[in-house]
Structure 1
Amino acid sequence: MKITEFVALFDLEVLNQGSDYESALLTITDVNRPGLQFHDFYDYFDQRRLQVIGKAEVTYLKGLTEEQRRKCFDDLFLYDIPALVISRGLECFPECLESAVKHEKTLLRTQETTVDFTSHTIEYLNRVLAPCVTRHGVLLDIYGEGVMITGDSGIGKSEAAIELVMRGHRLVADDAVEIRRVSNQLFGTAPEVIRHYIELRGIGVIDVRQLFGMRAIMKEAGIDLVVQFEQWDNTKFYDRLGIENHYTEILDVKVPCVTIPVRPGRNLASIVEVAAMNNRHRRYGYNAAQELARRVDLRADAGSGKKS
């Protein structure tokens, strides 16, 4: 992410533009408060991090002489840091500004407290810089469950999606799903250019937001379940009980997965709806297949006890 975009997004005051202000990038999701560096400790220092000083650092620096403060900032600006941010709207030391100009480093200021600014920055960078992949499929929010439908082109994903939208569920993405991994969780959204659109063969492209209103769309959703559509194969065995849990891996995160065979006469929208509700039950600890198996075992044990 470019420093210029970050400055505009967080409404930061630019005290000095560094020589790399237009090209500098934030490439790491953490920030650093250079308290140890002001004590001349650079043995463990990541210069890629955004540097932030707050009231604690400013209070310490006030106790130093002008020459000592100048040395602190000169030493820091010798490194290729993306920028230094002063929080709380605190006054900038003249030595800090002089050193930033001398070394051509970007110096910024925010009105937020140090804790608020660092937490907001880390949270935002975790999303923006998160690992990302694009998958072919449809993503919907069904009863609060993020369900991604995948399968071969033309198998009926979009048709099932529009039926689910008409039942009151919300569309996130059709055709292409951009997936990001944030703190071991997956979140999906649509590419900006095709957001809110669905392609229906025989009808063409429709705008879901315009046809069904804001209630029918959602910008982003977590991915809790993957539903794989495939053509019915009479030679293949399909799970009829669902005792075992099946998973697919996306960006090294395991996501529950079910395979639904497609053939004429099956109401795919209803099946996906039930799959979403069943997945939610499982996440809360209830597995209908295991409960049925337990009842059958109890009945069998009771029957064998009577015979003996």
Structure 2
Amino acid sequence: MGKSVKIKDLLKPALFHQISGDESALEREVFVPEMNRPGFELAGFFKHTDFRRIILFGEKEISFVKEMSKESQLACFSKLANDETPCIIIAKGYSCPEILKNIAIKRNFPIFETTQATGRVSIDLTGTLDEALAAETLMHGVFLNIYGKGVVIRGDSGIGKSEIALELIKRGHFLIADDAIELYHIGQGIVGRAPEVLRNLLEIRGIGVIDVSKMFGVASVLPKDHVDLIIQLERWLPSREYTRIGMEEDDVMEEILGIQIPKIVVPVTGGRSMSAIIEAAVMNMQLKDSGFDSSKEFVNRILDNIKSKSS
């Protein structure tokens, strides 16, 4: 069985008024993040209904119910209020149809009413469930926000990831996670954060663990961010060819939970300011995102120079 969220942990009493079902009914679990607006079901079409979804009634559904006969309501609501459906929510201040309420009371099925707009309920609950039920994995490295981009810095143990992160924090960038990064597939991207026990902490060899939020202020840390770039630090090998112009190979990508993330390999050697190099890599990425590629511009200049000399 996959991840789930219990109804009692999802719907807060301040926003959702429970009109049926006791405490045990709130133990029902939600396994999928999507909402079900039951238009087809009210019309009698149940062929592809996924009963694992929360059912949400808005103005259109309530208006349709008023046009239904009592027999049709009884047949439809008996199918909707089943053991697999987590709950039903009636939005926009409307009252629950009496037939549905009676069925729910007999079956100890949870129904909630709320004054919130239907669209707002759908957006808020879908976002909450999408994050809570997201596929996840754990990655070793340091995660920072640099110039507005979520950057994961990876490399062998002892290569200096945390020390580079410390320098970047001193330059005004933000720490999200050190050593272990929890990664979640949310929406169309990957979101990373620190495990609770490591939040705001940075380990520096020779010093120990420091609390970045205490040392540099609460504005120096972020709770989470989207992963936009992976920078892989490697020890410099004279025998290996590294990117110099930027046109030597196609863009390198790394797949995380089914999402392709841009990746840059940066060699580490004495005398190189790694924090400045990483800043430059992020700024160059931002330029590419805006449509300007410095490597292509350099190649074009060379070609133009050759043409001018040959003419």
List, as ranges, runs of 4+ consecutive aligned residues in structure 1 with deviation greater than 6 Å: none
Match of 2:206 among 199, 202, 205: 202
Indicate whether 1:33 and 2:40 are aligned: no
Query: What is the letter of the counterpart of residue 184 of structure 2?
Result: R
Calculate the TM-score normalised by the size of structure 2.
0.92
Aligned partner (choices 293, 296, 309) of residue 287 of structure 1: 293
Deviations along 1:142-180, one digit per CA (max 9) or x if unpaired, are 111111100111110100001000011111111111122
Per the alignment, residue 304 of structure 1 pairs with 310
Give me the whole-angstrom Cα distance separating, in 1, the residues matched to 2:297 and 2:43.
63
1:44 aligns with 2:60: no
Contact 1:247 1:257 in 2 (8 A): yes
Q: 2:79 aligns with which of 58, 68, 75?
A: 75
Report how far residue 126 of structure 1 moved. Answer: 2.3
AA aligned opposite 1:132? E
Does 47-56 or 158-167 show the bigger shift?
47-56
For the residues of structure 2 that align with 1:151 and 1:18, how far apart are their CA atoms?
A: 53
Contact 1:87–1:114, Cα closer than 8 Å, also in 2 = yes
Give the equivalent residue in structure 2 for 1:168: 172
Partners of 2:7 and 2:30 within 8 A in 1: yes
Q: Counterparts of 1:208 and 1:215 in 2: how far apart (Å)?
A: 10
What displacement does 1:206 show? 0.6
Post-superposition offset of 1:271: 0.9
| Identity within the alignment, % | 33
- 1:275 aligned residue: 281
Deviations, residues 50-90 of structure 1 (Å, cap 9, x unaligned): 10112222222233454543333223224520111111122
- Residue type matched to 2:263 in 1? C
Aligned to 1:2: 6
Q: Secondary structure at the match of 1:80?
A: coil
Q: Would the alpha carbon gap of residues 101 and 140 (structure 1) be closer, same or farther in structure 2, given more than 3 Å must change?
A: same
What CA RMSD, in Å, does the superposition of the two structures yield over aligned residues? Answer: 1.9
In 2, Cα distance between equivalents of 1:44 and 1:8: 30
- The residue that corresponds to 1:154 in the other structure is 158
Which residue matches 1:130? Answer: 134
2-side partners of 1:189 and 1:259: how far apart? Answer: 23
**Would the aligned equivalents of 1:19 and 1:104 in 2 still touch at CA under 8 Å?**
no
Q: State the shift of 1:274 in Å.
A: 0.9
Q: Distance in 1 between matches of 2:223 and 2:147?
A: 16
Deviations 1:275-304, CA, capped at 9 Å, x for gaps: 111111111111111111111111112222
The residue number in structure 2 matching 1:249 is 255
Counterpart for residue 229 of structure 2: 225
- The yes-or-no answer on 1:111 pairing with 2:115 is yes
Separation in structure 2 between the aligned mates of residue 77 and residue 155 of structure 1, nearest angstrom: 58
- Matches of 1:134 and 1:21, distance apart in 2: 34
Corresponding letter in the other structure for 1:299: N
Matches of 2:137 and 2:13, distance apart in 1: 24
TM superposition score normalised by structure 1: 0.92
Task: Could you tell me which runs of 5 or more consecutive residues in structure 1 were left unpaired when the two chains were aligned.
Answer: none
Alignment of 1:83-94 (within 5 A): 83-94=87-98
Distance 2:252 2:289 in 1: 13
> Is contact 1:24-1:82 (8 Å) kept?
yes
Structure-2 separation of matches of 1:90 and 1:60 = 13
Are the aligned partners of 2:26 and 2:110 in contact in 1 as well (CA < 8 Å)?
no
Q: Secondary structure at the match of 1:179?
A: strand
Q: Distance in 2 between matches of 1:68 and 1:240?
A: 71
Alignment partner of 1:188 is 2:207: no
Structure 2: tracts of 5 or more residues without a match: none
CA–CA separation in structure 2 for the residues paired with 1:154 and 1:271 = 19
Secondary structure of the 2:55 match is strand
